[in-house]
Structure 1
Amino acid sequence: MLVARPAQEGFRVIDAFSRITRLGEGLAASGVLSVTAMDRTIAALRACADKMVRNRVTRARLVATEACRRAANCGDFAHRVWAETGLDLEIICAKDEARLALGGCSSLMRPQYPWALVFDIGGGSTELIWVKNAADGPQVQGVVSLPLGVVTLAEQTGEALHSPAGYAVTVAQIATRLAVFEAEHAITRRLLMGEVQMLGTSGTVTTLAALHLNLERYDRSMIDGLDLRLADIAAVTTMLLGMSASERVAHPCIGTERADLVIAGCAILEAMCRLWPLSSLRVADRGVREGILLSMMREDAIWTRSE
């Protein structure tokens, strides 16, 4: 959740809240959201609703993504959310999710590059956006949503992902799936001409950035806009693969919530870096939430001018 007021340059954040609830846990096998996962998520949404009341929110947009798109009982979940929290969920399509993520982080794109590959590694899916960096703003040229996120991949691979052989096989399989997007847009050709930048928004890339900086606790001001070289990503990934589960839990920038998911995120990211070996990746600690705020502010400005 992000609560903000419009400001001269964008917006000023008033309150923020986030919690990993693993809404899609077990979804790949069952096709439905489990009662336990819904309970966890509704508890977090109840906290959001309370904060919205305290902050006197006058306009809101509340979106649900991949887990709800795929679940056969998404309607039942949305009804429970409304009945128990008063929040009205909007289930958005993958393309809308990708566009909101791009809108939230596009200010970090470097104008000297005519093309950008933007990605968002989520819990249930990974969105890739191929963007033309035009003078009048970024123009989306292609979007793909792979049904592979940190939760779904961790569930599918299990402990195999934590062995060198299993990790290597997983990375190769993901790269094969990404190759379809490459074939469609010829990204590598632009990359070899030095025309492409890569921008990543997700818990995976922000966590890797924090580990690279050896932060004792996560600090957004040091992460948002940071450039990570591929060698930096490889070094942190190697370190993570060598850690035990308890060591990952104990690390202040990983913790219990991400300890069993961070390796899955590394595998997805490594597959992208292997297919598109750009010199560096820019890290965005912003995404869909910021994209929603900015889109609502633009809508409000249009309404105001038309009155």
Structure 2
Amino acid sequence: MDAPPERLVAAIDMGSNSFKLLLARSLPSGRLLPVIRLKEPLPLLRGAPFSEETQIHAISALKTLTLALKPHPVQSLRLVATAAFRDSPNRSELVAAITAELGLRVHVISGEEEARLTYLGVLQFLPVYERLVLLVDIGGGSTELLIGKQGKVLFATSLELGHLSLTESFVKKGDLIGLRSFVREVIGESDFAEKSRELGGFEMVIGSSGTVRWIGRAIARDLIKGEFRTEWGFSRDELGSLVEKLGIGEEEKVRALGFSRRRAGVIFAGAVLLLEIFDALGIKEMEISEYGLVEGVIVEMIAKENVDYDWSANARWRSVVSLAARFDGGNRMKSAFQCVGVAKDIFYGLKKCYDLVGISGAPISFDEKEFECLEAALLLCNIGKAIGKKGYHKHSYCIIKNCGHLPGYSSEEIKLIALLARYHRKKFPRKEHDSVKELHAEMRHKFRVLCVIIRIAVVLQKCQFVAFKELEVFHSPEGFNVVLSGVNDGLSVSSDLPLITLIQSELNPELDHFEEVFHQKLLVSFPQKVLGGEQNTVNT
């Protein structure tokens, strides 16, 4: 069986401040990989009719966004419209024009539905599926509040409070007292605080939307001056200090704090609104999600077609990438992703052989869960270099095992990932090694199989004297055969040894380990004249 099928799914969020497009590649397990993100600014005031000019701009923005999808085989596309469309007296006119000109159906969703979909998007960014979460999503025309757990909405409401409408009604008039009073009145009338108490409160608070993310960036820039911050979020006191620094109507002062010109005009209203929500609901600190409504729309489309959808898979993957990015430079990350590609071809190539050729006794299940651990180890195996290059694989092991920044993985999976990073180079692990004995018997066997695959992938990727376009795995009575096609030897080699000899010196020890674990030989073939003949094979 080949690697799990991937789908291309797209969504457009027609918000009050801009239209946003996301095209994502998804795996059935729940992994979501953004392919294209585009945004077309288009402020739409809540409750106002859409003028002819606004309708022209809206259709033009959608044409631009959908044009970006043309080169891609998109299986599903969904458009959702929020507060400005909900309250516009002539929304049906614009919706009909979009359908007539572009052939697209627009789904105008309620505030509660917007909150629910945003919550589903947040679950793809943070591993909070099992936690009782309060979600705050501030938009241009409305603010959504939600309490949820395990993907289910326990209570949600939409407040007629948005940074665009509040800016027009109060900030541009310099009326700070009126702004605060109005926000408090609307929050109080919603009874959300009372509903929250009835549900037993909440374990954590997450903020979504551009307003919250811009506030988070400004606080981080001002308070920690670019240093790494373990948790991306902020406290009530930090938010209060920012509001004081922003000042009402002082746009140049706001720009000096790092806000874009477009965001600077509306951020004060958004920050005051968020501060009032903090005080009304007794919030002490908030974490930030990069994902929101548009991701939620996509993930719901995917989940409806997959009853076994894993809501935590994408959040686990993001925790790995975040940890790798914290310790690794851009070049090492790029190299790690290339190595993941090689390992994926080997992993699923072996699986295909066992599934189709009928070889008895597959050493592990070769499912996506196993590959996920292998992938995590490859992305993290170099992070120890942040401590020192000598013995960096041992440093990587300690960081992964003890960092506490891989939520969503079990303790046994974290041990496995750490050990794979530890033994991706140098000595091959023995079964009796103390660190390996920490795993239970089944996981120890899985570790040795994955370790063999990682080590071969690392050698093939790091050998700078050979590059290839495609890797395929075949099986014959003699054993397995890895065939590299499109081999290029144009890179310089600082050695007088023949190219094939250099490759053998790197690969032969790993091929011995493969035979030890799989009980079958592995051959690596380079069918190119550039390597000194019609076909060269590295074998044990």
State the TM bucket, normalised to the shorter chain: 0.7 to 0.9
The residue aligned with 1:20 is 41
Counterpart Cα distance in 2 of 1:242 and 1:157: 10
Match of 2:209 among 202, 215, 220: 202
What residue number does 1:60 align with?
A: 77
The one-letter amino acid of 1:196's match is E
Q: Does the CA contact (< 8 Å) of 1:20 and 1:257 recur in 2?
A: no
Partner of 2:24 in structure 1?
4
Q: 1:42 aligns to what SS in structure 2? A: helix
Give the 3-state SS of the residue equivalent to 2:68 in structure 1.
helix
Q: 1:242 to 1:74 in 2, by over 3 A?
A: closer
Pick one of 158, 172, 190 that aligns with 1:159: 172
Corresponding residue for 1:289?
294
The CA deviation string for residues 168-212 of structure 1, in whole angstroms up to 9 with x for no partner, is 43443344334x11223426x945xxx531111111110001111
Distance in 2, matches of 1:198 and 1:110, equals 10
Partner of 1:169: 181
Q: Does 1:262 align with 2:274?
A: no
Q: 1:35-70 CA distances to partner (integer Å, 9 max, x unpaired)?
A: 333333322211111011132322111111111111
| Distance across 2 between alignment mates of 1:53 and 1:279 | 46
CA RMSD of aligned residues (A): 2.9
* Structure 2 residues not aligned, in runs of 5+: 1-20, 310-540
Pairwise CA distance, 1:138: 3.4
The question of whether the paired residues in 1 share the 8 Å contact of 2:171 and 2:249 is answered with: no
Q: In 2, are the aligned partners of 1:118 and 1:200 still within 8 Å (CA)?
A: yes
User: Which of 162, 167, 171 pairs up with 1:149?
Assistant: 162
Provide the identity percentage.
22
Q: Is the 8 A contact 1:174 1:268 kept in 2?
A: no
Q: Are 1:121 and 2:142 matched, yes or no?
A: no
Residues in 2 aligned to 1:302 and 1:103: alpha-carbon distance in whole angstroms? 15
Offset of residue 267 of structure 1:
2.1
Query: 1:268 is matched by which residue type in structure 2?
Result: L
Task: Pick one of 248, 251, 260 that aligns with 1:245.
Answer: 251
What per-residue deviation string (whole Å, max 9, x for no partner) do you get for residues 93-134 of structure 1? Answer: 222211100100025254675x32112111111111122x3x
Farther-moved stretch of structure 1 (34-43 vs 259-268): 34-43
- Contact 1:119-1:127 at 8 Å conserved across structures: yes
Contact 1:109 1:199 survives alignment (8 Å): no
Structure 1 stretch displaced more, 151-160 or 200-209? 151-160
Native 8 Å contact 2:236 2:275 kept in 1: no
TM-score (norm 1): 0.81
Note closer, same or farther for the CA distance 1:66–1:167 as it changes in structure 2 (3 Å cut).
Answer: closer
Q: Distance in 2 between matches of 1:233 and 1:38?
A: 37
Which of the numbers 222, 225, 233 marks the counterpart of 1:227? Answer: 233
Q: Which AA in structure 2 matches 1:13?
A: P
For residue 37 of structure 1, give the secondary structure of its aligned residue in structure 2. helix
Q: Is the 8 A contact 1:64 1:92 kept in 2?
A: yes
Q: Which residue of 2 aligns with 1:99?
A: 116
Secondary structure at the residue paired with 1:186?
Answer: helix
Q: Which secondary structure does the structure 1 equivalent of 2:239 belong to? A: helix
Q: Do the aligned partners of residues 252 and 77 (structure 1) sit closer, same or farther apart at CA in structure 2, a change above 3 Å counting?
A: farther
Tell me how far apart the structure 1 counterparts of residues 261 and 175 of structure 2 sit (CA, whole Å).
Answer: 20
CA contact (8 A) 1:230 1:277 kept: no
Matched residues in 1 for 2:203 and 2:249: separation?
33
- Residue 176 to residue 73, structure 1, CA distance change in 2 (3 Å): same
Q: Which has the larger radius of gyration?
A: 2
Range with bigger deviation, 271-280 or 225-234: 225-234
Match of 1:184 in 2: 195
What is the alpha-carbon distance in structure 2 between the residues aligned to residue 112 and residue 57 of structure 1? Answer: 32
Q: Is the 8 A contact 2:248 2:268 kept in 1?
A: no
Normalising by structure 2, report the TM-score.
Answer: 0.48
Q: How many residues align?
A: 283
Separation of aligned partners in 2, 1:72 and 1:110: 38
In structure 1, C-alpha distance between the alignment counterparts of 2:75 and 2:181, rounded to whole Å: 49
Give how far 1:2 is off: 0.4
Q: Which has the higher mean CA deviation after the structures are superposed, 118-127 or 5-14?
A: 5-14
| 1:268-295 per-position Cα deviation (integer Å, ceiling 9, x unaligned) | 2111101122221011111111111111
The reply to whether residue 70 of structure 1 matches residue 77 of structure 2 is: no
Alpha carbons of structure 1 residues 9 and 299: separation in structure 2 relative to 1, 3 Å: closer
Q: Which amino acid aligns with 1:281?
A: M
Q: Counterparts of 2:108 and 2:249 in 1: how far apart (Å)? A: 37
Using CA pairs under 8 Å that are at least 6 residues apart, name the structure with larger relative contact order, 1 or 2. Answer: 1
How far is 1:227 from its partner? 2.3
Check the 8 A contact 1:62/1:88 in 2, yes or no: yes
The aligned residue for residue 391 of structure 2 is none
Q: Deviations over 1:244-277 (max 9, x none)?
A: 22343x4585223222211121122111101122
AA matched with 1:236: L
Tell me whether 1:130 sits opposite 2:147 in the alignment.
Answer: yes
Whether contact under 8 Å (2:141, 2:164) holds in the other structure is yes
Q: 1:251 to 1:2 in 2, by over 3 A?
A: farther
